Structure 1
Amino acid sequence: MEDEELLSRAAWHYYHDGLTQADIGERLNLPRLKISRMLEKARRLGLIQVQINSIYGSCLALERALSERFGLHATMVIPALAGVNLNDRLGQAAAQYLMQTLQTGDMLAIGWGDTVTRALQRLAYTVASRNISIISLTGGVTGYLQGLGLPQIAAPNIHLIPAPIVASSVTLAQALREEPQIAELFAMTRLAHAALVGIGATNAQATLVQSGYVSPAELTLFQRMGAVGDILGQFFDSHGVPLDIPLHGQLIGVSLEQLRGIPIRIGASGGSQKVSAMVGALRGGHINVLVTDEDTATALLREGA
């Protein structure tokens, strides 16, 4: 029996037939612990999709208010839950939105960061079964995509920019962007139906700082220049206007202007430290679909007034 078929059988017995994990184990001749792990794997791969049919299931009032305030195409707000990894929950929600949005043969453009990675982990089955192509919006993506458990995705369907996200100089960055292979990938991003990006804050926990691409001293300078956050390594102010800084010339990736050419631009982010960055991204129109939690949603409406 194929692994995917076994996962599907276990999921069907548990969610549709109402069998306990012990009952399923007896039917499939497997220990209960194995069944538990299989159900978790099926959920993470996207084989299992949970839909809550309630107006309160996704904080509808906050979704409507955010969509109206910032002119969004769609908003998904998940209930607050203390003591659980927020990026993991937001990644799950972003994956759920994409499962409902992506059609057979579509292309999904991706940024980089923890929340994006967690969403991709849960999209493996959807991407493979619908023949969806993945293309990176920046360099530096290859490293964090390794080990995601996406073996069933055909290699020709994954297009990653073979370069770091930040080059050592503006001259080198320009040369890399003009390389035929990289230039072709940049052109391909214009074919994407949807993009999934993270929104970075300007603090010591920012991915760019943690990865060593931006030093704490540089970050302090950017803050003094008005930076509130970044998308794809590009820092912007409270109105979403990109800063004029040398770092942007060293980036290997699409610009925020080019990003806005993609029809569906999903920003998945949350937490009190991200609110100012998210407001800037929303005001700048860099994203038109927002995935966040209800505490952050409330703060966004307050700060973005």
Structure 2
Amino acid sequence: MNKNDKKMDQAARAAWLYFVGGQTQHDIADALGVSRQVAQRLVASAIDNGLVSVHISHSVGQCMELAAQIKKRYDLSVCQVVPTQGMESSGIQHAIAVAGAEVMTPFIRQEQPMIIGVGSGRSLKAAIAELDDIERPQHSCVSLIGAIAYDGSCTRYDVPLLLAEKTQGRYFILPAPLFADSPEDHANWSKHRIYRTVSEKASQADVTFVGIGTVAYGCPLHKDGFISEQEIDVLVEQRAIAEILGHFIDEKGQRIASELNARHTSVGIDAKRGKPVIAFAGGAEKHQAIRAALVGGWVNGLVTDEQTAQALLV
């Protein structure tokens, strides 16, 4: 996406909020993370470029309609849908990453010290990679997920360090494997002073960013050695269709009663406590997983693609 396309997208968003959403220029400025003067210029630009007639003549207009419907249906505080009609999978993922960075930026730009909870996953890593460097050494980036596999290796998608590098903030790693060897081993990891300190800090996160995974052969947790083929088989038999931070859930968003639960070390998330818990996920293969996460109330924010949004409203 070049700078002109991005400017036109912002102009279309501003026009939709003003003419369809009925919001003031002050509201638009807050929503887009710009000054009131810039919001005014964006609305004027949309008119000058012919984006405004009876409806918003831009794909972003339809996407904002979809986002508004998803927010209402699933009681979300944040939703952004990117126009991806006709795109290949790689293009869809890049569009989600760019939009994800836009959603993250207003949180990260805040001056007061923040605790930022960070999960893992390809989409989340890609979104953070799209962020501009924003120097906020007062912020703390806290890992929500143990990044150590059975063989001692670490996942390439442990992304809190990447965000800490972007912000120059402090990085707190959860010092444990994603799944301990046994319930007794889990108890030992969980008793460690550093584990308790980091997990307590994570529970106080001001904003949380996560990915949503699928459960199948070749999914990231399987591919990276965190769960075995036998464990995949059992999870599929138990009708697990989604994974968030190592929590496996069914189509109703309920956590599966897996033996893995007693060995799972990741920090829990609670989207109902009023703090933003925003997921970055999309693509046809994730429609069911994303729906399950929304139905179960695991997240209260979503950045996704146009086709996924349409599927979520069926």
TM-score, normalising length from structure 2? 0.73
* Residues 116-127 of structure 1 aligned to structure 2 (within 5 Å): 116-123=124-131, 125-126=133-134
- Work out which of the residue numbers 91, 114, 118 in structure 2 matches 1:106: 114
Of stretches 145-154 and 206-215 in structure 1, the one that deviates more from structure 2 is 145-154
Per the TM alignment, residue 210 of structure 1 is displaced from its structure 2 partner at its CA by 1.0
Per the TM alignment, residue 136 of structure 1 is displaced from its structure 2 partner at its CA by 0.6
Corresponding residue for residue 200 of structure 2: 187
Per the TM alignment, residue 111 of structure 1 is displaced from its structure 2 partner at its CA by 0.6
In 1, distance between residues paired with 2:303 and 2:173?
A: 24
Corresponding residue for residue 98 of structure 2: 92
In 1, distance between residues paired with 2:189 and 2:8?
A: 43
Q: Flag as ranges the 4+ runs of structure 1 deviating above 6 A.
A: none
* Residues 234-245 of structure 1 aligned to structure 2 (within 5 Å): 234-245=247-258
* Residues 162-196 of structure 1 deviation map (CA, whole Å, 9 limit, x = unaligned): 22212222211121011010111010012211111
In 2, distance between residues paired with 1:246 and 1:262?
A: 30
Please give the secondary structure, in 2, of the residue aligned with 1:168: coil
In 2, distance between residues paired with 1:136 and 1:151?
A: 14
2:67·2:81 contact (CA, 8 Å) conserved in 1? yes
In 1, distance between residues paired with 2:174 and 2:274?
A: 18
Per the TM alignment, residue 274 of structure 1 is displaced from its structure 2 partner at its CA by 0.8
Per the TM alignment, residue 132 of structure 1 is displaced from its structure 2 partner at its CA by 2.4
Segments of structure 1 that go 5 or more residues without pairing to the other structure are 1-13, 19-47
In 2, distance between residues paired with 1:183 and 1:88?
A: 36
Corresponding residue for residue 82 of structure 1: 87
Of stretches 220-229 and 70-79 in structure 1, the one that deviates more from structure 2 is 220-229
Corresponding residue for residue 221 of structure 1: 234
1:192·1:262 contact (CA, 8 Å) conserved in 2? no
1:195·1:262 contact (CA, 8 Å) conserved in 2? no
2:155·2:224 contact (CA, 8 Å) conserved in 1? no
Letter in 1 for 2:294: L
- Aligned residue pairs: how many? 255
Letter in 2 for 1:252: T
Corresponding residue for residue 177 of structure 1: 190
The share of aligned pairs that are identical, in percent, is 24
* Residue 275 (structure 2) pairs with residue 263 (structure 1): yes
Letter in 2 for 1:287: V
Q: Structure 1 pair 100/50, CA: closer, same or farther in 2 (3 Å)?
A: farther
* Residues 221-300 of structure 1 aligned to structure 2 (within 5 Å): 221-256=234-269, 258=270, 260-261=272-273, 263-300=275-312
Q: Structure 1 pair 49/113, CA: closer, same or farther in 2 (3 Å)?
A: farther
Please give the secondary structure, in 1, of the residue aligned with 2:209: strand
Corresponding residue for residue 178 of structure 2: 165
In 2, distance between residues paired with 1:229 and 1:111?
A: 15
Letter in 1 for 2:244: I
In 1, distance between residues paired with 2:120 and 2:163?
A: 17
* Residues 220-252 of structure 1 deviation map (CA, whole Å, 9 limit, x = unaligned): 221221211110011011111101111122122
Per the TM alignment, residue 130 of structure 1 is displaced from its structure 2 partner at its CA by 6.6
* Residue 59 (structure 2) pairs with residue 52 (structure 1): no
In 1, distance between residues paired with 2:66 and 2:198?
A: 37
Per the TM alignment, residue 100 of structure 1 is displaced from its structure 2 partner at its CA by 2.1
Q: Structure 1 pair 150/70, CA: closer, same or farther in 2 (3 Å)?
A: closer
Segments of structure 2 that go 5 or more residues without pairing to the other structure are 17-58, 149-153
Please give the secondary structure, in 1, of the residue aligned with 2:200: helix
* Residue 213 (structure 2) pairs with residue 200 (structure 1): yes
2:203·2:267 contact (CA, 8 Å) conserved in 1? no
Corresponding residue for residue 142 of structure 2: 135
